[in-house]
Chain A
Amino acid sequence: MNKMLASSLAVPAVDPIELQIIRQRLIAIPNLIEKNIERTAFSLLVQEYKDYAVGFVDARGQLVTQSRYSLPAFVANALGLGVRSGLAAFGEKAMRDGDVFFVSDAEVLGGHLNDICMFTPIWIEGTLIGFFAVIVHWIDVGGATAGSCLAPTATELSQEGIQYPVMRLVQEGRRLDEIFRLIAKNTRFPRLLMGDVEAQLGGCAMGRELVREVVAQHGQAGILAAIEAMRADSSQNMARAIRAVPPGTYTASSFFDDDGVALDQPIKVNVKVVADGETLTIDFSDVSDQVPGPFNSGRDGGAVATARMALKFLLSSSTPVNEGEFDNVRVEIPDGKFLSAGPEAAHGSGPNTHASVVDTILRAFHEALPDMVPAGHHGIFGTHTITGVNERTGERFLCMDAMSGGWGAFANSDGPGPFRSTAHGDVRDVPVEIQEALYPYRIETKRLREDSGGPGRFRGGLGVEKVYRFLQPLTLMNKLDRTKCPPWGLVGGGPGKPAGGEVIRASGERHPLRKGILAVGKDDVLVISSGGGGGHGPASERTADRLNADVLEGYVTVEGALSDYGIVLKNGADKGQGELPPA
């Protein structure tokens, strides 16, 4: 704080309303670029998954403002980390006007190798104003498995693709062709990837020009003052929110099934939150060690990213992310945990753990902020990847489909959903009709999973069930999790039904689904279910009206009403009508 005040004193006073105007202009820029990237990108991951983030970062590598629909995992961390690695490697002076850098180094970003942070310095009249940065999930960067990070059983980072240390892609406006060729040679999908790279590069350049325009209008002093004011405001907003958390030590726990390699070895998520009125400490000292499988993240991509995500959800949900929000947040974790793994560990599925880790942090806050914290949500990415060579077209394809699931109930409302997890924002499912038009399988069912919402005074949101039928031999990669630790209820509410699935072979043979790679054949069927959200308050306190409505709509079956709520409802009249009467 003091350092910040000192630097803001060095800036001449700027009219307070003009400051607001500059702020408004800066906030608008990443949102503009975001729209452009989404439209210009080639891969569905960018367009439909929103697996990117766009931001303006100051000259020290501190995030000033970030696009509104960015994936939560990139919150206030990845862009600044990338820029700071460039500053450390090259020094400010060597980062010239017109340069564009990129980095995926696991030691820097702590994420999987598909996440590439690209950034460009903004020089104006000899002053480095800041950087414009865009992080995009590249569809494939080589490694053992198509999609790179998708390998469910990788045990080393080097199996997950090429790793780019921070380096130039464009030098003073000149494209370095050999680097473009290097990138194109290290992917299974050069056409898609190079399209995305162009979109990302275009976004950096456009952002740089738009920031220049703001400086041209308001001058350097104005923009620097606005950057400081944005940081100070963010810091103060969060400080006020932290003061409202009753001091104390709060804990919560959950666990993952396993890492796909050391089977049936649960990964523990034991979280401790310490509030003292001034700072919040998120302590991960007691989480599981780094695991052999790919469910690891580095400290910044794991422990720090999840702590920040949880605090955005809980205390600062409506403002654009700014580094200042985390001035009074401490993250404790020793090296070598699965959220602070070494750079040699497999990182591919690290982000898959984020949703449940965030949810566990939120759960720890429940005692302190009981009205703000919902019961547990389904908590996983729910992705399964179907890949192969389409016999009809001869083309290799990869479709990453995903499951939405139920979210937890609150003290005063049923759980929402089905939605993707807390690790996703504006991420859309791939429509069934697009998949069936392009890929050699059919989706026979996509429906709400009845009785999956945790019972309670307020019921958890429902999970989803999907059934796929494969029309030719294909490969299924899957990272199903949380089948043993269901989404928790709160204050006596019951847990939601956990995720699960099975493959039914054309022969009739059944395999329960677990993490891994599976060859599937013609007419094999995949049945997969996502978890429901946890309930809130005792089931016995659910009002008759609400329970009746649930049964009428078919969210709860007559059998479920009996087993979960102990209520006998007469069959027929109360049953949902969406089911046809028997023939």
Chain B
Amino acid sequence: MDQVGPDVTADNHSRRYLIAADTGGTFTDLAVFDTQTGETRFGKTLTTYGDLVAGVIAGLEDTKVRLDQAAIFKHGTTHVINAFIQRQGARTALVTTKGFRDVLEIARGNRPETFNLRYRRQECLVPRRLRFEVAERIEGKGEVVQPLDRKDVERLIPVLRAAGVEAIAVSLLNSYVNPIHEEEVARMLSEALPHVYVTSGTRLSREWMEYERTSTAVGNAFVGARMSEYIAGFFSELNDRDFRGRFYLSSSSGGVITAEDAIAQPIALVESGPVGGCIGAAAYAAALELPRIVAFDMGGTTAKCALVEDGRFDVVSTYWVGGYERGFPIRTPVLDIVEVGAGGGSVAWVDENKRMRLGPKSAGSDPGPIAFGRGGIEPTVTDANVVLGRIGSDSFMGGRLLLDVESAKTCISEQLAGPLGYSGPDAVDRVSQGILDLANVTMAGAIKEITVERGRDIRDYQLFVFGGGGPLFAAELARDLGIEEVVVPPHPGAFSSLGMLMTEARRDAARTFLSALSPASIVGAQSQFEVMERELRDSMSAEFDVSRICYLREADMNYVGQSHTVRVSLPPELSVGAVRSAFEREYLARYGHSNEGMEVTFVALRAGGVVPTARPSLEAVKWVGEVNAEPGPSFYRQIYFARAKARLTTPVYRRSDLPIGAAIEGPAVVEEYSSTTVIGAGDRLVVGKLGELRITCAINRRTERSTHE
């Protein structure tokens, strides 16, 4: 976009603000950092579905920041994932190799819901009548077996025009090893149909597997045609308010990219929003020297987690739009975030065998929990927190939403405690605690799954929590996972937009590189990396200060004969010995065994280019309010604790009253706008140097309701 010229500098004196706007599923969050005063401000509005820009502008008004004083505007958006989920994309056609028109529909023939007779995948984004074949053939090593028949392409042009297609994906067999035909087809179609959005699969992914790459190309074309409209719309709104800074979008791999990149490669924005929190977590982990953390984000409708090691997170190369079970894959680097639960809205119920169950149904934000008084009638995790006194009935959202504790109690009593046979004065408390325990075990199970899958031991990690619900669960979840320390950053309820302020510019490239590890393949890999790095540098030079570029080199590798690969971070100096030991270290960590003497091979090479951009210092965001010299509790509340099996008179602190170094012994509650931290007896909370709450958990591996009686 020409509006963002390279002449604009981020540290221009009159442009003092860095802005991050994250349009999420329920809320649009904004964070604004003032580079002159070091102050951070937040805005929060409901996401407006028809018009995502409107929500951002409304939130911006909350912060009272003038756009003409903004140097950088970073935007995380649900636009791409919404377009997929609501199927509101372009009328898209697919052009492929003769004989392979149905690759998209045949997929891989698998049925992940093994015993479901009615199982079917979501319908293809391109119907069969819009899937076309051209005569050409490249074989598995990249040789041209049959030259491209240009007449076939020419004959297609009027057909595509007549069909009124708005976007075309070109994906030819074996193009990952030689894209010459694919590029030629894409070029011919772009020239003949200048108003049609054309994507070729190998521009997005140079990796093998025809279904996955075709699906990637189709997904990109489907959302791509509308991406420029969205960005142009966003831009004109910003320009109307005299914005003259740089505009970036938050990509799923954890960096920011330019508007041009976002338009060419919109699938890079598929998880644009949720990455913000992880980036923030990584920034804190680096600043606080926390070597291994689990970033845990719990909101009203989902709980997600990611592993951050040495301030870095993993990026995976395949994302399933709509889920693995029924959705479709796109090959795009996505920060490795996994959904681990349904959040505060999960509904508890009693099944036919009189067992309490939790989820998968969620009350979400509409009708929401019973206690919100918006028509919810089924008990949720949030209701259990309210009933137990963990969430203050009059302090939720700074008192803006009063909670109906009595209705929540009545429903839990009637729908759960009664049918389950609990009686006595503490029946509702015990069942409510049971809801939290079930939520905990479900989330803990999912977190263990992602750590085991990656060959990690969860007990080596610290739990870093954010989102409205994260700090509520943190101490209990940590106990269940065997984790000793929990960290709650400043502003946990607005953390994802805060994190987005910290993102750097990042682009990624990858190539399938099938070559056994040898001195010759090291030379080949080295030159492939140099080519990719040159491409990354060139593609970023117009927009970013590439004199500060850092490269990341990774390889997908395995033992000869395996089909799954391990992602290995490569040393700066490539050599057979160094690569092999990096591979074996990673393999051993992941699988617990390595196979000495077995030949090792490269499957793919991955390069990342990262350029630092202006970002707030964490020192600057630590102060969350006025400092009270003698911090004491604001008041006391009766809260039920599982380990005590009773309600305890518990001090409630305001977070803004707690200075650095303050220490609190549990049980205690720390409240702030849009989040509540609960610690139990034996837990100890200390306010750390960046204003973070550090909770040391009393580890008790046996649960209170031990069966040894």
Interface residues of A (CB under 8 A from B): 12, 14-21, 24-25, 28, 31-32, 35-36, 38-44, 47-48, 68-70, 72, 191-192, 195, 198-199, 202, 206, 216-222, 225, 229, 232-233, 236-237, 240, 312-314, 316-318, 362, 372, 374, 402, 404, 407, 410, 413, 416-420, 424-429, 431-438, 442, 444-448, 464, 467, 552-555, 576-578, 580-581, 583
Is B563 a contact partner of A69 (Cβ separation < 8 A)?
A: no
Is B128 a contact partner of A553 (Cβ separation < 8 A)?
A: yes
Interface size counted on chain B using CB atoms at 8 A: 86
Give A195 to B106 CA distance when docked, in angstroms: 31
Residues of B near A48 (CB, < 8 A) are 563
Is B441 a contact partner of A577 (Cβ separation < 8 A)?
A: no
Is B131 a contact partner of A578 (Cβ separation < 8 A)?
A: yes
Quick one: which of B108, B131, B152 contacts A428, CB cutoff 8 A? B108
Give A372 to B101 CA distance when docked, in angstroms: 33
A574 CB to closest chain B CB, in angstroms?
Answer: 10
In the assembled complex, 25 residue pairs joining A and B whose CB atoms fall closer than 8 Å, in A order, are A16-B354, A18-B703, A20-B356, A20-B438, A24-B442, A25-B441, A32-B448, A195-B561, A195-B598, A216-B701, A217-B703, A236-B352, A316-B115, A418-B109, A427-B110, A428-B108, A429-B110, A433-B174, A433-B176, A434-B209, A577-B163, A578-B101, A578-B133, A580-B152, A580-B155
* Given A216-B701, A420-B110, 15 new contacts (CB under 8 A): A47-B562, A69-B114, A202-B592, A221-B707, A225-B707, A316-B115, A317-B113, A374-B118, A413-B118, A425-B114, A426-B114, A431-B208, A433-B140, A448-B102, A580-B132
Give A369 to B544 CA distance when docked, in angstroms: 65
A98 CB to closest chain B CB, in angstroms?
Answer: 16
B357 on the interface (CB 8 Å rule)? Answer: yes
B706 on the interface (CB 8 Å rule)? Answer: yes
Give A216 to B708 CA distance when docked, in angstroms: 11
Q: Annotate B595-609 by CB proximity to A: 1 below 8 A, 0 otherwise.
A: 100100000000000
**Residue with the highest number of chain A CB atoms closer than 10 Å, among B176, B438, B701, B703:** B703
Is A578 a contact partner of B139 (Cβ separation < 8 A)?
A: no
Give A28 to B444 CA distance when docked, in angstroms: 10
Top 7 closest A-B pairs, CB basis?
A436-B140, A425-B114, A404-B109, A17-B434, A445-B99, A317-B115, A428-B108
Interface residues of B (CB under 8 A from A): 99-103, 105-106, 108-120, 127-133, 139-141, 145, 151-152, 155-156, 159, 163, 173-174, 176-177, 208-212, 352-357, 420-421, 430-431, 434, 437-438, 441-442, 445, 448-449, 452-453, 514, 559, 561-564, 590-593, 595, 598, 701-703, 705-709
**Residue with the highest number of chain A CB atoms closer than 10 Å, among B100, B109, B431, B595:** B109
Is A581 a contact partner of B159 (Cβ separation < 8 A)?
A: yes
Quick one: given A21-B437, A192-B561, A577-B130, are A16 and B420 in contact (CB under 8 Å)?
yes
B457 CB to closest chain A CB, in angstroms?
Answer: 11
Residues of B near A419 (CB, < 8 A) are 109-111, 119
Is B129 a contact partner of A416 (Cβ separation < 8 A)?
A: no
Is B453 a contact partner of A240 (Cβ separation < 8 A)?
A: no
Give A206 to B452 CA distance when docked, in angstroms: 10
Is A425 a contact partner of B110 (Cβ separation < 8 A)?
A: yes
**Residue with the highest number of chain B CB atoms closer than 10 Å, among A12, A434, A446, A554:** A446
Is A583 a contact partner of B155 (Cβ separation < 8 A)?
A: yes
Quick one: given A44-B563, A448-B105, A553-B128, are A437 and B707 in contact (CB under 8 Å)?
no
Give A553 to B123 CA distance when docked, in angstroms: 13
Is A202 a contact partner of B591 (Cβ separation < 8 A)?
A: yes
Give A257 to B346 CA distance when docked, in angstroms: 52
Closest to B702 in A: A217
Residues of B near A555 (CB, < 8 A) are 128
Residues of B near A219 (CB, < 8 A) are 702, 706-708
Is A433 a contact partner of B591 (Cβ separation < 8 A)?
A: no
Closest to B210 in A: A433
**Residue with the highest number of chain B CB atoms closer than 10 Å, among A17, A32, A192:** A17
Is B595 a contact partner of A195 (Cβ separation < 8 A)?
A: yes
Give A297 to B270 CA distance when docked, in angstroms: 48
Is A434 a contact partner of B99 (Cβ separation < 8 A)?
A: no
Residues of B near A206 (CB, < 8 A) are 452, 592
Quick one: given A12-B707, A36-B591, A437-B141, are A554 and B701 in contact (CB under 8 Å)?
no
